[in-house]
Structure 1
């Protein structure tokens, strides 16, 4: 995937995410000890920063986002509601796309 294609995909997914309603059953939930509201906000901040930076993210935010992708992988199996599962799968896809283009990313 080239940079322009990634930027288009992330922009589209970001707009979809911004229009999505945060699942009611995820408020206050902490599967695997991870606060879902904070996880969502962390990813949102990193993705927004990446888009504002024209597809660039500093190394620290890149690390934070990679940690969030890992956390999303840990919480997804524990989210039982259909709305929450769909919402956080979408968030993980978005975070993974940005993370793969960030400093220190390991693609494999």
Structure 2
């Protein structure tokens, strides 16, 4: 578990160093507000770094990961946004893996 937490911490630091893609502040691929996607996942990731998520946050984390997976295929043409949201997705998946292990 310590190794996974270390990986999550490194990914989170890398993610936090990236600026949110400015052109996605108002863009809503497939009707999805990407600002809210970012905020929801960042909150869940940050909480998972501190301990086990409550059921509500765990459900949000898993549903937003699935939704972002779909959206990533729709934004491939924008390299900056694709890189940003791919790293967010990878970081969120690692947070979910850690939280799932804590629940087992």
TM-score w.r.t. the length of structure 2 is 0.89
2:53 paired residue among 41, 54, 57 = 57
The root-mean-square deviation of aligned C-alpha atoms, in Å, is 1.7
Say which structure, 1 or 2, has more relative contact order (CA 8 Å, 6+ apart).
Answer: 2
User: Which ranges in structure 2 are unaligned for 5 or more consecutive residues?
Assistant: none
Structure with a larger share of its residues in helix: 2
2:71 maps to 75
1:46 maps to 44
TM-score w.r.t. the length of structure 1 is 0.86
CA distance in 2, matches of 1:35, 1:70: 15
User: Which ranges in structure 1 are unaligned for 5 or more consecutive residues?
Assistant: none
Equivalent pairs counted in the alignment come to 101
CA distance in 2, matches of 1:103, 1:63: 11
Contact 2:5/2:98, CA 8 A, preserved across alignment = no
CA distance in 2, matches of 1:103, 1:76: 23
CA distance in 2, matches of 1:26, 1:8: 30
SS state at 2:53 partner: coil
CA distance in 2, matches of 1:33, 1:100: 27
